[in-house]
Amino acid sequence: MGRKPRVSPFQKHGVLVLNKPTGPTSADCLNTIKRELKQSKIGHAGTLDPLAEGVLLVMLGQATKLGPYLMGQDKIYSGSLIIGRTTDTYDIQGAETSSSDVSNITEKMVENEILAWNDLTSQEVPAYSAAKHKGKPLYELARNGEEIPVKIKSIKIFDGKPLEVSLPMARFRVGCSAGTYIRSLVHSLGIRLECGAVMESLKREESRPFTLAEAHDLDEVLNDPDGFESRIIPIADALPHWPKFTVGEKMAADIKNGTRIPVENVPGAPGLIVIEGDRAMFLDPEGIPLSLAEAKYVDNNLHWTVLRGLWG
């Protein structure tokens, strides 16, 4: 029999809402936490570009299992752009590829184009991105001077609005589906104005269900190792928008065995109506997370089926 992997006594389990600073990559931030705070099992939900700052969800220990369910949530950003320029990365950190006269552009025109983001349902993936083609990230192809395939992805935009326009700069706020490239939104605005535009700054204000109000600065986290655990959201509270059910020992054992549980056998909140596709977290009698589950019809009866085990 093989040996069980050693579990570090320093490893924490839960979600840290980090206020990522501008400059380092998301991976840089995680590697620093991993090294300085001895967190061998760590991941993040939703990458932020080096230029960007704001909410980065850091998953620790068993909470890394929550990744698919945290990454798919809507995001809210604020940022600024500059018209009259283009770069290969669509932001000010890239190499300039063109510059244009913007004397014929009015503030109203820019405001209208920001509002037009709300009508978009797809966008082109930037060449300098982590999206992959035949197993290779696009940014690697771009840096090697290789041909970049055009990739189009579906997006959802809501509440896109201008905050301030003072040419050639404009500030904006936008809500969007997970995976939306704000750089591409800015680039598309420049194309429609026929003068080009680049993203100057970006802040993720919300990665639902968590906001900047709950975020901790990286320096604050690193400089107070004794307070690290107090800043971590326990796994049981990491999906606050999901209902939670506490079950008895017999049902807990069934869940660990992957047994489907009839919905009517699970005591729910008063007035809660469960429909197919609903998701929930199950806890054992001591309040320890057992699993994530989804309601599905099996033989014409609605059952809770395990999506992801959380025990261990």
Q: Which residues are catalytic?
A: 49
C-alpha dihedral (181, 212, 19, 229), degrees to nearest 10: -130
* Residues contacting 201, CB < 8 A, separation 6+: 22, 51, 79, 80
Token couple for 110: 């820019």
Q: Which amino acid is at 31?
A: N
Q: What is the DSSP letter of 242?
A: S
Cβ atoms 15, 42 nearer than 8 A: no
Whole-angstrom distance, CA of residue 242 vs CA of residue 66: 12
Whole-angstrom distance, CA of residue 295 vs CA of residue 243: 12
Whole-angstrom distance, CA of residue 9 vs CA of residue 41: 12
Instruction: With residue 67 as reference, give the H or E element that holds it.
Output: helix 67-71
Q: How many helices (H) and strands (E) does the chain have?
A: 7, 20
Task: Count other Cβ atoms within 10 Å, centred on residue 166.
Answer: 9
Task: Count other Cβ atoms within 10 Å, centred on residue 116.
Answer: 15
